[in-house]
């Protein structure tokens, strides 16, 4: 099961990613644009996810994915770390979120990032 340090290591391994504290929690940004957060007790992550896809994720795997009330109007979904199969699944989720936030120049420079599969 991945933990907070795995999240940090994997997120920071993605191109042009930095960590910044915001709202008293670690956030991860690509070219300055947030793509993941490590909220509260560090047992979950919040990642970008198109609204139409996140509803399907939550319905399909409610033990893994959920929508926090204060994020309902935004294209974000929460992921329980203890529900992830392994670090590969964590990497796929973070990379997918990274691709949604990354500017075109980075997507063009790193076409391999996040193409392993959807969240």
Contact 2, 81 (CB under 8 A): yes
pLDDT score at 62? 97
C-alpha neighbours within 13 Å on the C-beta side of residue 88: 4
Contact 12, 19 (CB under 8 A): yes
**Total residues found in the chain within this entry:** 119
pLDDT score at 118? 41
Model confidence pTM above 0.85: yes
Contact 17, 32 (CB under 8 A): no
Angle between helices 4-13 and 87-101 (to 10 degrees): 50
22: three-class secondary structure by DSSP: strand
Q: What share of the chain is helix, strand, coil (3-state, %, to 5)?
A: 40, 25, 35
pLDDT score at 115? 61
pLDDT per residue, tens digit, the chain (119 aa), is 899 999 999 999 999 999 999 999 999 999 999 999 999 889 999 999 999 899 999 999 999 999 999 989 999 999 999 999 999 999 999 999 999 999 999 999 998 886 654 44
pLDDT score at 41? 86
């Amino acid at each position: 099961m991945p933990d907070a340090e795995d999240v940090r290591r994997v997120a920071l391994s993605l191109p042009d990613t930095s960590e910044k504290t915001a709202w008293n929690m670690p956030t991860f940004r690509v070219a300055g644009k947030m793509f993941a957060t490590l909220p509260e007790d560090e047992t979950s992550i919040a990642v970008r996810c198109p609204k139409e896809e996140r509803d399907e994720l939550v319905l399909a795997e409610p033990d893994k994915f959920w929508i926090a009330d204060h994020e309902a109007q935004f294209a974000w979904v929460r992921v329980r770390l203890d529900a992830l199969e392994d670090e590969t699944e964590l990497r796929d989720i973070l990379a997918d979120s990274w691709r949604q936030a990354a500017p075109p120049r980075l997507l063009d420079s790193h076409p391999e990032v996040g193409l392993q599969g959807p969240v």
